[in-house]
Amino acid sequence: MSCAQALEQFLSRYHQSYQSSLGEGPRCYARGEASPCVLQEDGEDPQLWQTIRREQPGSFANVSHALELPLHADIDEFYGQFFAAHLLFEADFGEGELLQPWSQDDFEFLQQNLIGHLMMKRKLKQPPTWFIGLLGQGDEMICVDNETGAVWRETPGELPSKKLADSLEEFLVMLRPRVAPAVEPWRMLTIPVSGRG
Protein backbone atom coordinates (compact mmCIF):
# COMPACT_ATOMS: atom_id res chain seq x y z
CA MET A 1 0.00 0.00 0.00
CA SER A 2 1.24 3.51 -0.78
CA CYS A 3 1.01 6.61 1.39
CA ALA A 4 -1.72 7.95 -0.94
CA GLN A 5 -3.78 4.77 -0.55
CA ALA A 6 -3.37 4.76 3.25
CA LEU A 7 -4.50 8.41 3.39
CA GLU A 8 -7.51 7.69 1.18
CA GLN A 9 -8.52 4.80 3.44
CA PHE A 10 -8.19 6.96 6.55
CA LEU A 11 -10.31 9.69 4.93
CA SER A 12 -12.99 7.12 4.11
CA ARG A 13 -12.97 5.82 7.71
CA TYR A 14 -13.07 9.42 8.94
CA HIS A 15 -16.26 10.35 7.11
CA GLN A 16 -17.89 7.01 7.95
CA SER A 17 -17.15 7.54 11.65
CA TYR A 18 -18.90 10.92 11.65
CA GLN A 19 -21.91 9.55 9.78
CA SER A 20 -22.20 6.62 12.20
CA SER A 21 -21.77 8.72 15.35
CA LEU A 22 -23.49 12.00 14.47
CA GLY A 23 -25.65 11.20 11.45
CA GLU A 24 -23.79 13.75 9.32
CA GLY A 25 -20.33 14.47 8.01
CA PRO A 26 -17.65 16.43 9.89
CA ARG A 27 -17.83 20.19 10.40
CA CYS A 28 -15.11 22.82 10.70
CA TYR A 29 -14.64 26.57 11.14
CA ALA A 30 -13.88 27.80 7.64
CA ARG A 31 -13.56 31.44 8.79
CA GLY A 32 -14.86 32.67 5.45
CA GLU A 33 -12.11 30.92 3.48
CA ALA A 34 -13.52 29.49 0.25
CA SER A 35 -13.01 25.80 -0.44
CA PRO A 36 -14.43 23.18 -2.79
CA CYS A 37 -14.91 21.05 0.37
CA VAL A 38 -17.78 23.16 1.76
CA LEU A 39 -21.14 21.45 1.32
CA GLN A 40 -23.42 24.37 2.16
CA GLU A 41 -22.55 27.91 1.11
CA ASP A 42 -24.38 29.78 3.85
CA GLY A 43 -21.36 31.53 5.35
CA GLU A 44 -22.18 30.22 8.82
CA ASP A 45 -19.58 28.34 10.86
CA PRO A 46 -19.08 25.52 11.58
CA GLN A 47 -19.38 24.34 7.99
CA LEU A 48 -20.28 20.82 6.89
CA TRP A 49 -17.48 19.61 4.63
CA GLN A 50 -16.39 16.67 2.49
CA THR A 51 -13.04 15.55 1.12
CA ILE A 52 -12.41 16.53 -2.51
CA ARG A 53 -9.91 14.70 -4.71
CA ARG A 54 -7.83 17.22 -6.63
CA GLU A 55 -8.20 17.12 -10.41
CA GLN A 56 -4.58 18.22 -10.74
CA PRO A 57 -2.41 16.83 -7.92
CA GLY A 58 -0.34 19.35 -5.99
CA SER A 59 3.45 19.21 -6.15
CA PHE A 60 6.28 20.36 -3.91
CA ALA A 61 8.79 20.46 -6.78
CA ASN A 62 8.89 24.26 -6.44
CA VAL A 63 9.79 23.98 -2.73
CA SER A 64 12.46 21.39 -3.49
CA HIS A 65 13.90 23.63 -6.23
CA ALA A 66 13.83 26.78 -4.06
CA LEU A 67 15.68 25.05 -1.20
CA GLU A 68 17.89 22.89 -3.45
CA LEU A 69 16.71 19.95 -1.36
CA PRO A 70 15.20 16.75 -2.78
CA LEU A 71 12.01 16.09 -0.82
CA HIS A 72 10.74 12.63 0.09
CA ALA A 73 8.12 11.46 -2.42
CA ASP A 74 5.50 11.01 0.33
CA ILE A 75 5.12 14.79 0.69
CA ASP A 76 3.31 15.02 -2.66
CA GLU A 77 1.16 11.98 -1.86
CA PHE A 78 0.19 13.28 1.58
CA TYR A 79 -0.52 16.94 0.75
CA GLY A 80 -1.15 16.88 -2.99
CA GLN A 81 -4.03 14.45 -3.51
CA PHE A 82 -6.98 16.00 -1.66
CA PHE A 83 -8.55 19.15 -0.29
CA ALA A 84 -9.92 18.60 3.22
CA ALA A 85 -10.17 20.15 6.66
CA HIS A 86 -7.82 19.03 9.39
CA LEU A 87 -8.43 15.47 10.53
CA LEU A 88 -8.77 14.58 14.22
CA PHE A 89 -7.33 11.25 15.30
CA GLU A 90 -6.49 9.11 18.28
CA ALA A 91 -3.83 6.42 18.53
CA ASP A 92 -2.01 4.42 21.17
CA PHE A 93 0.54 7.27 21.46
CA GLY A 94 -2.11 9.99 22.00
CA GLU A 95 -4.51 12.35 20.23
CA GLY A 96 -3.83 14.88 17.53
CA GLU A 97 -4.79 16.18 14.12
CA LEU A 98 -3.46 15.75 10.62
CA LEU A 99 -3.07 18.81 8.43
CA GLN A 100 -4.59 18.93 4.96
CA PRO A 101 -4.89 21.83 2.49
CA TRP A 102 -8.37 23.40 2.47
CA SER A 103 -7.98 24.99 -0.97
CA GLN A 104 -5.34 25.87 -3.56
CA ASP A 105 -4.62 29.11 -1.68
CA ASP A 106 -4.19 27.13 1.52
CA PHE A 107 -1.91 24.66 -0.29
CA GLU A 108 0.35 27.54 -1.34
CA PHE A 109 0.34 28.93 2.21
CA LEU A 110 1.24 25.46 3.48
CA GLN A 111 4.19 25.39 1.08
CA GLN A 112 5.40 28.72 2.49
CA ASN A 113 5.14 27.37 6.03
CA LEU A 114 7.07 24.25 5.09
CA ILE A 115 9.81 26.37 3.51
CA GLY A 116 10.02 28.30 6.79
CA HIS A 117 10.22 25.09 8.79
CA LEU A 118 12.91 23.60 6.54
CA MET A 119 14.94 26.82 6.62
CA MET A 120 14.74 26.81 10.43
CA LYS A 121 16.04 23.21 10.48
CA ARG A 122 18.90 24.25 8.17
CA LYS A 123 19.76 27.24 10.36
CA LEU A 124 19.83 24.99 13.44
CA LYS A 125 22.02 22.49 11.52
CA GLN A 126 19.41 19.77 12.08
CA PRO A 127 18.38 17.10 9.57
CA PRO A 128 15.39 18.22 7.46
CA THR A 129 11.88 17.18 8.49
CA TRP A 130 8.44 18.31 7.30
CA PHE A 131 5.35 18.49 9.46
CA ILE A 132 2.08 16.66 8.83
CA GLY A 133 0.16 17.35 12.03
CA LEU A 134 -0.02 18.29 15.68
CA LEU A 135 -0.13 16.28 18.89
CA GLY A 136 -1.95 16.98 22.15
CA GLN A 137 -2.50 20.69 22.72
CA GLY A 138 -0.39 21.65 19.71
CA ASP A 139 2.98 21.98 21.46
CA GLU A 140 4.40 19.03 19.53
CA MET A 141 4.37 18.38 15.80
CA ILE A 142 4.20 15.15 13.87
CA CYS A 143 7.05 15.29 11.37
CA VAL A 144 8.48 13.11 8.62
CA ASP A 145 12.23 12.56 8.41
CA ASN A 146 12.96 13.75 4.88
CA GLU A 147 15.71 11.18 4.30
CA THR A 148 14.10 7.99 5.66
CA GLY A 149 10.36 8.79 5.51
CA ALA A 150 9.93 7.75 9.16
CA VAL A 151 7.36 9.61 11.27
CA TRP A 152 8.49 11.31 14.52
CA ARG A 153 7.29 13.50 17.39
CA GLU A 154 9.04 16.85 17.24
CA THR A 155 8.99 20.01 19.33
CA PRO A 156 9.58 23.14 17.19
CA GLY A 157 13.26 24.07 17.22
CA GLU A 158 14.39 20.71 18.58
CA LEU A 159 15.50 17.38 17.16
CA PRO A 160 12.77 14.73 16.69
CA SER A 161 12.26 12.99 20.04
CA LYS A 162 10.41 9.70 19.44
CA LYS A 163 9.79 7.61 16.35
CA LEU A 164 6.09 6.82 15.82
CA ALA A 165 6.32 4.72 12.64
CA ASP A 166 8.84 3.65 10.01
CA SER A 167 6.78 5.20 7.20
CA LEU A 168 3.88 7.55 6.63
CA GLU A 169 1.84 4.65 5.26
CA GLU A 170 2.41 2.65 8.46
CA PHE A 171 1.58 5.72 10.56
CA LEU A 172 -1.75 6.37 8.79
CA VAL A 173 -2.84 2.77 9.27
CA MET A 174 -2.30 3.15 13.05
CA LEU A 175 -4.71 6.08 13.38
CA ARG A 176 -8.35 5.96 14.48
CA PRO A 177 -10.70 8.80 13.48
CA ARG A 178 -11.69 10.95 16.48
CA VAL A 179 -15.25 12.21 16.28
CA ALA A 180 -15.64 15.57 18.02
CA PRO A 181 -17.58 18.81 17.61
CA ALA A 182 -15.86 21.48 15.54
CA VAL A 183 -13.83 23.92 17.62
CA GLU A 184 -12.57 27.32 16.61
CA PRO A 185 -8.88 27.34 15.65
CA TRP A 186 -6.68 28.10 18.63
CA ARG A 187 -3.15 26.98 17.96
CA MET A 188 -0.05 28.73 16.72
CA LEU A 189 3.29 27.03 16.24
CA THR A 190 6.68 28.68 16.08
CA ILE A 191 6.26 28.17 12.34
CA PRO A 192 2.61 29.18 11.70
CA VAL A 193 0.44 26.39 10.33
CA SER A 194 -2.59 27.21 8.22
CA GLY A 195 -5.92 25.50 8.27
CA ARG A 196 -9.13 24.74 10.04
CA GLY A 197 -9.75 22.87 13.25
Per-residue model confidence (pLDDT) at position 196: 47
pLDDT along the chain (197 residues), means of 10: 95 97 92 88 83 96 95 97 96 95 96 95 96 90 97 94 96 96 60 44
Per-residue model confidence (pLDDT) at position 31: 81
pTM beyond 0.85, yes or no: yes
- DSSP state letters, the chain: --HHHHHHHHHHHHHHHHHHHHSS--EE--TT---TTBS--S-PSSEEB--EE-SS----HHHHHHHT-PPPTHHHHHHSSEE---EEEEETTEEEEE---SSHHHHHHHHHHHHHHHHHHHHTT---EEEEEEETTTTEEEEEETTT--EEEE-TTS---EEEESSHHHHHHH-EE------------SS------
Per-residue model confidence (pLDDT) at position 185: 65
